[in-house]
Amino acid sequence: MTKTDAQLTADILLDIEAIHIRPDEPFTFTSGRKSPVYVDCRKIIGFPRARAKLMAMATDLMAREAGPEAFDAVAGGETAGIPYAAFLSDLMALPMLYVRKKPKGFGRNARIEGDLREGQRVLLVEDLATDGGSKISFVDGLREAGAECAHCFVIFHYGIFPEGIAKLKQHGVTLHALATWADVLEAAARRGVPDAHLAEVRRFLDAPDDWTPKGE
């Protein structure tokens, strides 16, 4: 059976250990929140063959969902989105930009780096999306600089914060992703990850703010 792009993406992320499932030794985020899982899409840059496949699928996805001539430039969000914007801009034969989280505070005090032209249609690229908050900030930065930005691509989307997607839509932005947690959980089950571990991940995804390791 031929795998879908989402299934292949999930398998790649698990193969290169960009996704860790570890409910018995949970991760602690900077917010203090504990999690049985950790997603590290930055690892992709270290695996050229996996990276090439993901970027090829991303290019096809954007052609299908936005159109083959929908963009004039590709912009990476500082910092995780920058390498993927570079890869995609090359495949799509488009200029590349990147967007700072805030103006750099000296020199030109620029927030956008690259040669942005007024009215250019820009695809924003990031590695992953949780609630979409940082995406809105980057979109605003592009729009304030004169770009049109109605689409954002990520490799992985948590898919558990519908209010975040609603906010992006209200902001005039469509989010595109190769895979979500639903795809990863299906792939993990195929690979024999214990049912108890997957149940803990689902418990976390159902209520991430309330999850605590069993026994605590």
Q: What is the pTM of this model?
A: 0.92
pLDDT tens digit sequence for 61-103? 999 999 999 999 999 999 999 999 999 999 999 999 999 998 7
The predicted structure's pLDDT at residue 1: 57
DSSP code for 192: T
For residue 105, what pLDDT is reported?
55
Beta-bridge partner residues of 121? 148
Q: What are phi and psi of 121, to 5 degrees?
A: -90, 115
What is the distance between the alpha carbons of residues 15 and 132, in angstroms, rounded to a whole number? 26
* 62: amino acid identity, one letter: M
Amino acid 175: pLDDT: 95
Q: How far apart are CA 20 and CA 68, in angstroms?
A: 34
**pLDDT grade for 216, boundaries at 50, 70 and 90:** low
Angle CA(54)–CA(58)–CA(63) in degrees, nearest 5? 155
Contact in structure between 136 and 168 (CB atoms under 8 Å): yes
Alpha helices in 47-153 (DSSP H): 48-65, 82-92, 133-144
Chain centroid to Cα 112, Å, comes to: 20
Task: Tell whether omega for the bond before 30 is within 30 degrees of 0, i.e. cis.
Answer: no
- Find the mean pLDDT for residues 180-196: 95
Sequence-ordered alpha helix ranges (H) in 66-102? 82-92
pLDDT exceeds cutoff 70 at 109: no
Tokens 């989307």 label which residue? 157
At residue 188, the pLDDT reads: 97
Q: What are the chain's domains?
A: 5-206 (3.40.50.2020)
pLDDT for the residue 104:
65
Output the pLDDT for position 107: 44
Count Cβ atoms within 10 A of the Cβ of residue 17 and give its class: 0-12 exposed, 13-18 middle, 19 or more buried.
exposed
